[in-house]
Each structure stands twice: as structure tokens, then as C-alpha cells.
Structure 1
Amino acid sequence: MFVHRLRVRYHECDQQGVVFNANYVSYYDVALTEMWRALLGSYQSMVDQGHDLVIAESRLRYLSPARFDDEVDISLNIHHVGTTSLIMRPEYRVGDTLTTEGEIRHVFINTATFTKAPIPDYVRAALARVSSPATTQASPNE
């Protein structure tokens, strides 16, 4: 599991004074980029090698509001590493309160063709360093 903390900015809140729901996907993207940086270095270096990942599906469930100036911890739990896809189950917390949870599925692509591609071995190995024992893993040959 990887955790990234960010602080809610005023412009990210709606008229009710809570984080506008669409911002949670943006927060997820920030946390994912920081996880990539910690595990693999520059995200751009992966792209330069011809690999990228795109969101194919996202689902979030809002449980409790986060508000302006709250510090939100985004936990990225790797649920499944497949042949070409990756499923993350992010959890958003303010203190001990779970505010939002969900599931986001990524598909790896070839940057030249924008077609589905196998997860590179070096990415698979890096993800294994933060995966829990319960994470399901497809072998690179499946």
C-alpha cells in the first residue's frame, strides 16, 4: 500500500463547503503519480519506453465529506495485477475517518499505437513491492 497526503484547497470545494466529488479522481491521479515516482522514478521515463496506463473504469463511494483545509490521506491499495490491467482500491481518509473509497481499473497501452499492451516486467516488479499478500497477480505470460 502507498499513501499520499494532500491538503484540500478552497477552490476544490462546492457550495456546501465540501470537496466537490469530481476532485477525488484528480486527487487519485496526484497520489498515483507520486506512487509511480517513489517506485519507478519519473512517470515520463515509462512513457518514453513506450508504455502508459489509462483509466478504463472508475467507481467511487462517498461516505463522509472532506472540507477546506483538511488533510486527506489517499491510500492506494493494489487489488489485482493482471496481464494488461491493474485494479486499485483507493481509500481517502481525514484523520481516522474514511471519507471515500472505490475501485479504479487501468489498462496498459503501447504509446505508439494506443492499443492494449502487457504490463512491463519492471512495472510489475515495482508494484509487487507495495502490494499486499492478498493481491492477485497474473504471471506476465498469462
Structure 2
Amino acid sequence: MSQPFRYYLRVRYGECDAQKVVFNARYGEYVDLAVSEFIRAIGYGAQMVSSELDFQLVKQTTEWKAPSRYDDVLECRVATRHIGNTSFTIGVEFRLAGEEALRASSDTVYVMVDHRLGKTPVPPAFRAALEDGAKGRSIDHAACGR
């Protein structure tokens, strides 16, 4: 991912399991947070809140490489991987902030839906925003000063 959008989060105590690492299911929540901030960064936060623009997760694949632990600051690199007629795929790569080693990665396929939850085409302006991808921008909810 070249100059991807970055979202920083700090691992909280309650997100860890008995092995003292981030519980695997939490990565789905982290993806949701990172993608939500990505959508805001590309200019569609208000449309998501108003339900003017809506999509549903239809597939998510996560691969783990190394554990993350309580109080780690994770850098989530977010980028659009693919855009189809009614769907798009967003990739999130997890790293310890300041390091290049990959901790985990997740690809999520979303389908655009209308108010009746039927498939609908990806709107042209949203498609263009997804393609631009908020490159080089970041949101820091970990308060690590990045």
C-alpha cells in the first residue's frame, strides 16, 4: 500500500483474551473502526450517518502473523483493493505503530444496498472517492501524536 490512509488505535485491556493477546474477533471490530474513519476521510461520513449511502459486509478474511497486546498502538493502513459494479473490497493492514512488520491483515468485501437492503450500483462519486482513498491522511485515536 503506497501512502495509504492510516488509523491509529490503542489496544484496551478488555480486548485481550486469557493468553494476554488481542482476541481474534476484535480484529473485525478494528476493521470496522478503521473503515468508518476511512469513509469519513474520503468525505462520506455524513452520508453514512444519514443512511443516504449504505453498504453491508458480505465477506471478511483475516490473516494473523503476530500477536498484539494490551496498550499496543496499532497502525491500521486502509486502502481500496477492488471496486466492482455493486461491491468493493477494502484492505486493512495492522502494524505496531512505527514498525513495518505486519501483525495481521484483513480484506473485507462490502455490497452497496438501497433502503430496502437490495443491491445497488456503487455511485460514481463514491467510486472516485474510494479510488482516491484518502492517501497520506491519518486519524489518531490512540493519542500517540501521529
Partner of 2:17: 14
DSSP 3-state at the match of 1:29:
helix
2:36 to 27, 33, 36: 33
TM-score (norm: length of structure 2): 0.82
Q: CA deviation at 1:77?
A: 2.2
Q: What does the per-residue CA deviation read over 1:80-107, in whole Å, with 9 as the maximum and x for residues that have no partner? A: 0111100122111012221101321110
Paired residues, number? 130
1:90 aligns with 2:92: yes
Percent identity between the aligned chains? 34
Q: CA deviation at 1:59?
A: 0.7
Q: CA deviation at 1:49?
A: 5.9
1:109 aligns with 2:113: yes
Q: What does the per-residue CA deviation read over 1:110-132, in whole Å, with 9 as the maximum and x for residues that have no partner? A: 0x210010011221121121289
Partner of 1:81: 83
C-alpha distance 73-103 of structure 1, shift in aligned 2 (>3 A):
same
Partner of 1:64: 66
Q: Which has the higher contact order (CA 8 A, sep 6+)?
A: 2
AA aligned to 1:108 is: M
Q: Matched residues in 1 for 2:16 and 2:48: separation? A: 33
DSSP 3-state at the match of 1:21:
coil
Q: Matched residues in 2 for 1:60 and 1:18: separation? A: 16
Q: CA deviation at 1:41?
A: 4.3
1:23 aligns with 2:34: no
Q: Matched residues in 1 for 2:58 and 2:6: separation? A: 22
Q: Matched residues in 1 for 2:52 and 2:44: separation? A: 15
Q: CA RMSD in A?
A: 1.7
TM-score (norm: length of structure 1): 0.84
User: For structure 1, which runs of at least 5 residues remain unmatched after alignment?
Assistant: 133-142
1:53 aligns with 2:55: yes
Q: What does the per-residue CA deviation read over 1:23-68, in whole Å, with 9 as the maximum and x for residues that have no partner? A: 10100111111111111142x4246363301110011011100000
User: For structure 2, which runs of at least 5 residues remain unmatched after alignment?
Assistant: 136-146
